[in-house]
C-alpha cells in the first residue's frame, strides 16, 4: 500500500513537471491583476474594522472616513472592559459560555455528521436513499423557518434555558452531513476492502483512512460551525444571565448609543478574532481536494 502511494505521488510530480502553461505571460499578468483587485475589495473591510478599533472618537466620526488610524489609542478596549467589569456577570463568564457552546457544538457536528455520512455512503443501509432526500430537503430551509419548531421541541425536552438548546440543533446541520457524504463518496471502495482484508475493523478504517482523506471537508464544516456558534446569541432559548453568551452581552453594550461607538468598534474586532484565527489555521487544508489527498480509482 505504501509503495503504491509513493508510485502515485511520483507519477503526479512527473506530470506537473512536464506540464506546460496554457496561457501567455500577458494572460497570466492580466489574471493576477484581476485577482489582486478583488483581493483589495475583500481585504478592505477587514483592514477598516481593525483600524476602527484603535481610533479615537474624533477619527471615527471624521468625514470622509480614513482607512488607517492616525492617532492609535487603546481607550476603546479599556472602556469595553470597564463596562463589562461593572456588570453583574463577569466578562470571563460570557467568554466561557461562548467557548463551551462553540466547542461542544462543533465537535459534536463533526463526529455525528462524519459517522453518519460514512454509514450512508459506504454501508448502504436500508432507507439511505430516502434519508438523503430528507437531508437535501432540509437544505432548502433557513434557520428562521425552523425557529418555532425548534423552540417547541426544546420545550418538550425541557432544555429551555440550558446549553443543550443551542448545542444540539448545531450538531444536526444538514450542510455538514451533505458535504462530508459527498467527499466520502469519492474514496475508492477498493481501498476500504483492502483494509478489511488486512484485518482492520470498521472503526479503525474510519479513523485511520476515512477521516484523514476527508480532512478538507471536515475542516470546512469546522469553519462554518465555529462562525455560526461563536456569533450565536442564544437569547431565544437562554434566559439566565449566567448562561448567556458573549455576543448577547456585547450587543447590549453596542446598543448604548453614539457615545459607545468606539466600544462598538472594539467589540467588532474582538468578535472577529476567533473565526478569523480558525480560518487562517485551516485554510491551507480547505484548499485541498480529493485529487491530491489520496489514491483515486
Q: What pLDDT sits at residue 66?
A: 79
Give me the CATH number covering residue 115.
1.10.3720.10
Which cell is 91 given? Answer: 466578562
Indicate whether 8 belongs to any domain: no
Q: Where are the alpha helices (DSSP H) in the chain?
A: 2-18, 25-53, 57-60, 75-85, 91-118, 128-138, 147-157, 164-170, 174-185, 189-197, 202-205, 211-213, 215-230, 246-254, 261-286
* Claim to verify: residue 62 and residue 84 sit in the same structural domain: no
42-62 residue pLDDT tens: 888 888 888 888 888 777 887
Considering the chain, what percentage of its residues have pLDDT values greater than 70?
Answer: 84
Which distant-in-sequence residues (6+ apart) come within 8 Å of 28 by Cβ? 21
* Claim to verify: residue 93 and residue 194 sit in the same structural domain: yes
Indicate whether 19 belongs to any domain: no
* Claim to verify: residue 46 and residue 137 sit in the same structural domain: no
* Claim to verify: residue 183 and residue 229 sit in the same structural domain: yes
Indicate whether 144 belongs to any domain: yes
**What pTM value is reported for the model?**
0.74
pLDDT value at 114 more than 80: yes
* Claim to verify: residue 241 and residue 154 sit in the same structural domain: yes
130-163 residue pLDDT tens: 888 888 888 887 777 888 888 899 899 888 888 8
* Claim to verify: residue 178 and residue 236 sit in the same structural domain: yes
* Claim to verify: residue 117 and residue 152 sit in the same structural domain: yes
Structural domain of 51: 24-73
Band the pLDDT of 107: cuts 50, 70, 90: very high
239-287 residue pLDDT tens: 888 888 888 877 777 776 676 777 888 888 888 888 787 777 776 666 5
Indicate whether 267 belongs to any domain: yes
Which cell is 292 given? Answer: 491530491
* Claim to verify: residue 274 and residue 244 sit in the same structural domain: yes
Indicate whether 286 belongs to any domain: yes
Indicate whether 9 belongs to any domain: no
* Claim to verify: residue 55 and residue 101 sit in the same structural domain: no
* Claim to verify: residue 110 and residue 243 sit in the same structural domain: yes
| Domain edge (last residue) among 55, 73, 91 | 73
Count CA atoms closer than 13 A to 11's CA, side-chain side: 9
Indicate whether 257 belongs to any domain: yes
| Domain edge (last residue) among 32, 52, 73 | 73
pLDDT value at 296 more than 50: no
* Claim to verify: residue 255 and residue 282 sit in the same structural domain: yes
The number of domains in the chain is 2
Q: What pLDDT sits at residue 230?
A: 87
Phi-psi label, residue 207: left if phi above 0, alpha if psi -120 to 50, beta otherwise: alpha
Amino acid at each position: 500500500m505504501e509503495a503504491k502511494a509513493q508510485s502515485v505521488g511520483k507519477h503526479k510530480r512527473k506530470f506537473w513537471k512536464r506540464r506546460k502553461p496554457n496561457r501567455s505571460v500577458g494572460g497570466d499578468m492580466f489574471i493576477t491583476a484581476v485577482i489582486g483587485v478583488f483581493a483589495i475589495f475583500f481585504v478592505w473591510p477587514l483592514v477598516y474594522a481593525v483600524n476602527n478599533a484603535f481610533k479615537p472618537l474624533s477619527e471615527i466620526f471624521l468625514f470622509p472616513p480614513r482607512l488607517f488610524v492616525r492617532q492609535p489609542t487603546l481607550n476603546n478596549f479599556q472602556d469595553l472592559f470597564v463596562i463589562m467589569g461593572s456588570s453583574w456577570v463577569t466578562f470571563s463568564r460570557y467568554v466561557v459560555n461562548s467557548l463551551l457552546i462553540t466547542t461542544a457544538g462543533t465537535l459534536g457536528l463533526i463526529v455525528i455528521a462524519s459517522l453518519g455520512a460514512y454509514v450512508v455512503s459506504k454501508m448502504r443501509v436500508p432507507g439511505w436513499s430516502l434519508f438523503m432526500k430528507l437531508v437535501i430537503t432540509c437544505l432548502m430551509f433557513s434557520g428562521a423557518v425552523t425557529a418555532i419548531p425548534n423552540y417547541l421541541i426544546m420545550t418538550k425536552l425541557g432544555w429551555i434555558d440550558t446549553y443543550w438548546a443551542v448545542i444540539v440543533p448545531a450538531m444536526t446541520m444538514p450542510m455538514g452531513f451533505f458535504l462530508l457524504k459527498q467527499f466520502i463518496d469519492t474514496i475508492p471502495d477498493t481501498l476500504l476492502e483492502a483494509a478489511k482484508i488486512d484485518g482492520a475493523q470498521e472503526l479503525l478504517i474510519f479513523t485511520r483512512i476515512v477521516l484523514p482523506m476527508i480532512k478538507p471537508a471536515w475542516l470546512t464544516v469546522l469553519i462554518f460551525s465555529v462562525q455560526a456558534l461563536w456569533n450565536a446569541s442564544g437569547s431565544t432559548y437562554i434566559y439566565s444571565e449566567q448562561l448567556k453568551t458573549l455576543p448577547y452581552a456585547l450587543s447590549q453594550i453596542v446598543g448604548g448609543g453614539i457615545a459607545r461607538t468606539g466600544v462598538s468598534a472594539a467589540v467588532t474586532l474582538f468578535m472577529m478574532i476567533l473565526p478569523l484565527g480558525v480560518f487562517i489555521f485551516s485554510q491551507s487544508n480547505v484548499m485541498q481536494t480529493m485529487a491530491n489527498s489520496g489514491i483515486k480509482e
